[in-house]
């Protein structure tokens, strides 16, 4: 029997196989975005996952037709910048993403549709990333095109994954890539047909937790 729980912006379903699926599904909207309510919902689900010994793996996905997560809500960012709450919002997002990355069970992001900014950063907090080959799938960190920088781990996790030079190009250019381009760069681990996305994600879970390379050690000399 599948157990289902909903916390505002995200639905959690755990099957008899112990696989937990977190589906982002913003009510009355065709898009998923990150605002304070979404961060709160993710935190609530992580509270439950961390204490559920029956869960063997987690898949992060979207219930929307053409959008995974379109990043942070710009209106929220503007309002919080004006009220002095932006720093706290960014810090809380980082804490929640770090909790996802620290889960003891393997995690996979199953990406279909637009996956931009904070939407891609949450996938970087997962062990693996599988993308749909659908033309609607576009992946990247476009923050620099808005005069911003990735603030939820993208600037640190991506260099560890694909190297500093490649990551710098992705971040500074701010381009959204097709699934095949993302695979070539190393932004995702696999590209599959849309109807095979969850099956591919389950296969990745079977590989277990992933070892992330440590940041490069830079030696300095004092003369």
Q: Where are the beta strands (DSSP E) in 154-222?
A: 177-178, 190-192
Known catalytic residue at 119: no
Which candidate in 7, 114, 116, 121 is catalytic?
A: 121
Known catalytic residue at 72: yes
Tokens encoding 147 = 């005069």
Q: Between 74-83 and 86-101, two packed helices, what is the crossing angle to 10 degrees?
A: 130
Known catalytic residue at 118: yes
Tokens encoding 60 = 């992060």
At residue 197, the 3 state secondary structure works out as: helix
At residue 45, the 3 state secondary structure works out as: helix
Which candidate in 57, 71, 93, 118 is catalytic?
A: 118
What is the Cα–Cα distance from 154 to 117, expressed in whole angstroms?
A: 8
Beta bridge partners of 110: 130
14 within 8 A of 55, measured Cβ to Cβ: yes
Sheet strand arrangement including 67-69: 67-69, 114-116, 138-140, 177-178
Known catalytic residue at 219: no
Residues whose CB is less than 8 angstroms from the CB of residue 83 and which lie 6 or more positions away in sequence, other chains included: none
Which candidate in 7, 70, 72, 179 is catalytic?
A: 72
Rounded to the nearest 10°, the torsion over CA 179, 199, 209, 207 is: -110
Which candidate in 143, 167, 182, 201 is catalytic?
A: 143
The label of the residue with tokens 């296969």 reads 203
Catalytic residue numbers, as ranges: 72, 118, 121, 143
């Amino acid at each position: 029997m599948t157990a289902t729980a909903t916390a505002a912006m995200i639905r959690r379903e755990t099957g008899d196989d112990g696989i937990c699926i977190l589906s982002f599904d913003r009510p009355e909207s065709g898009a998923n975005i990150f605002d304070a309510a979404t961060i709160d919902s993710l935190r609530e689900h992580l509270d439950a996952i961390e204490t559920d010994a029956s869960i063997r793996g987690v898949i992060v996905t979207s219930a929307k037709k053409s959008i995974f997560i379109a990043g942070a809500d710009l209106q929220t960012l503007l309002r919080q910048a004006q009220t002095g709450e932006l720093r706290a919002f960014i810090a809380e997002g980082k804490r929640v993403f770090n909790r996802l990355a620290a889960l003891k069970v393997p995690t996979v992001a199953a990406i279909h549709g637009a996956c931009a900014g904070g939407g891609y950063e949450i996938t970087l907090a997962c062990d693996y990333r599988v993308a749909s080959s659908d033309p609607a799938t576009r992946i990247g960190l476009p923050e620099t095109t808005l005069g911003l920088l990735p603030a939820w781990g993208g600037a640190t996790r991506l260099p560890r994954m694909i190297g500093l030079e490649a990551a710098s190009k992705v971040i500074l250019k701010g381009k959204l890539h097709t699934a095949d381009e993302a695979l070539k760069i190393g932004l995702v681990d696999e590209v599959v047909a849309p109807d095979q996305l969850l099956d591919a994600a389950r296969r990745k879970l079977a590989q277990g937790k992933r070892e992330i390379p440590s940041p490069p050690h830079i030696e300095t000399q004092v003369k």
